Amino acid sequence: MDVSPTQHVALIGFRGAGKSTIAPHLAALAGVEAFDADRELEAAAGRSIREIFAQDGEAHFRDLETKLLQTLLDRPPAVLSLGGGVILREVNRSLLRRCFTVWLDAPRDVILSRLALDLAKSDQRPSLTGLSPAEEVAKLLEERAPIYAKCADFTVDTSRYSAEEAAETIWKEWKTHAATGDKR
Interface with ligand S3P (CB under 6 A): 15, 19, 38, 49, 83-85, 125-126, 128
Q: Minimum CB separation from ligand S3P for residue 60, in Å?
A: 12
Which residue, 8 or 15, has its beta carbon nearer to ligand S3P?
Answer: 15
Sorted by sequence, the CB contacts under 8 Å of residue 7 that are 6+ apart come out as: 77, 98, 99, 100, 177, 178
Residue closer to ligand S3P, measured from CB, 128 or 147: 128
Least distance from ligand S3P to the Cβ atom of residue 108, Å: 14
Rounded to 5°, angle at Cα 163 from 161 and 164: 95
Q: How far is the CB of 83 from ligand S3P (least distance, A)?
A: 2
| Integer angstrom CA distances of residue 108 from 8, 12, 141, 174 | 28, 16, 8, 26
**With respect to ligand S3P, which residue has the nearer C-beta, 107 or 126?**
126
φ and ψ at 4, to 5 degrees?
-85, 135
* Distance in Å, CB of 111 to ligand S3P, minimum: 10
Q: How far is the CB of 14 from ligand S3P (least distance, A)?
A: 6
Rounded Cα distance, 147 and 141, in Å: 10
Cα–Cα distances in angstroms (integers) from residue 28 to residues 47, 78, 104, 135, 144, in the given order = 29, 10, 18, 36, 29
- Looking at the Cβ atoms of 5 and 85, the one nearer to ligand S3P is 85
Choice between 47 and 176, CB closer to ligand S3P: 47
